[in-house]
Amino acid sequence: MSLIGKLVRLRPFEPEEADTVWRWHNDPDVTRWLEESYPEPLAAIRKRWADRPANCFQRTVFGIETRAESRLIGVVVLRDATPEHGRAELDIYIGEKDCWNGGYGTDAMRVMCRYGFDFMRLHAIELSVVDENERARHVYRKVGFVEEGRLREAFRRDGRWHDVYVMSLLEGELVDG
Ligand SMILES: CC(C)(COP(=O)(O)OP(=O)(O)OC[C@H]1O[C@@H](n2cnc3c(N)ncnc32)[C@H](O)[C@@H]1OP(=O)(O)O)[C@@H](O)C(=O)NCCC(=O)NCCS
């Protein structure tokens, strides 16, 4: 099963890469539209990363690496997969801001969705995205995700509530570039 796209390669994380992920988690530009968790000390994320279970059907986490420079730039996850329904949830972010708008997110989405449909034999992939996150919504639509519903005032940031779209992509709907 190929995890190689046009611009990126997806691969498991190494424990020592916890520091890079911690830096991304502490960048407010990166986390602006991501679900917020309580701040975590670097030592805690290092331990969590070292103890992390191997990727499996229920939860697969890949680092996004550029093909050209083998540079780690982000994370893509398929989680909460259920074999009974053939569904899973996808999360993605590019933590290296100088790589935004470089085509990497779109390519990583395509590779991960192909992996979900072809290898994991999923029937549908779902995700949630905040209304104002126009770039992410554009990318998701571009690869074939459709909006299924809108959760009113489901996300709070900077003292304001924002609506959240639930989107999904069915097997056979992935739009290749
Ligand atoms: C969202 C994200 C994953 C997209 O990855 P990326 O590598 O930056 O995206 P790409 O370069 O592949 O594509 C960006 C597209 O959005 C478009 N775009 C950029 N800003 C936009 C905006 N404000 N409104 C609409 N479209 C926009 C670009 O023109 C490009 O589309 P095109 O290729 O059709 O021209 C990445 O920007 C990111 O991680 N952002 C921060 C975290 C985040 O929001 N994660 C998603 C949470 S749901």
162 lines ligand 1 (CB under 6 A): no
18 lines ligand 1 (CB under 6 A): no
How far does the centroid of ligand 1 lie from the alpha carbon of residue 173, in Å? 20
Contacts of 54 (CB under 8 A, 6+ apart): 12
Supply the pLDDT for residue 37: 84
CATH code (residue 26): 3.40.630.30
111 lines ligand 1 (CB under 6 A): no
**Domain of 164, in residue numbers:** 8-170
| 119 within a domain of the structure (yes/no) | yes
How far does the centroid of ligand 1 lie from the alpha carbon of residue 106, in Å? 8
24 lines ligand 1 (CB under 6 A): no
Instruction: Let me know how long the chain is.
Output: 177
At residue 42, the 3 state secondary structure works out as: helix
Supply the pLDDT for residue 1: 63
Give the chain's largest Cα–Cα span. Answer: 44
| 175 within a domain of the structure (yes/no) | no
168 lines ligand 1 (CB under 6 A): no
| 141 within a domain of the structure (yes/no) | yes
Supply the pLDDT for residue 141: 98
Burial of 136 (0-12, 13-18, 19+ CB in 10 A): buried
| 164 within a domain of the structure (yes/no) | yes
How many domains does the structure of the chain reveal? 1
| 29 within a domain of the structure (yes/no) | yes
Supply the pLDDT for residue 174: 98
**Residue among 73, 130, 135 to mutate when testing ligand 1 (max atoms within 8 A of CB):** 135
**Residue among 73, 90, 101 to mutate when testing ligand 1 (max atoms within 8 A of CB):** 101
| 177 within a domain of the structure (yes/no) | no
Per-residue pLDDT of the chain (177 residues; tens, 9 = 90+): 669 999 999 999 999 999 999 999 999 999 999 998 889 999 999 999 999 999 999 999 999 999 999 999 999 999 999 999 999 999 999 999 999 999 999 999 999 999 999 999 999 999 999 999 999 999 999 999 999 999 999 999 999 999 999 999 999 999 998
SS (HEC) of 61-103: EEEEEECCCCCEEEEEEEEEEECCCCEEEEEEEECCHHHCCCC
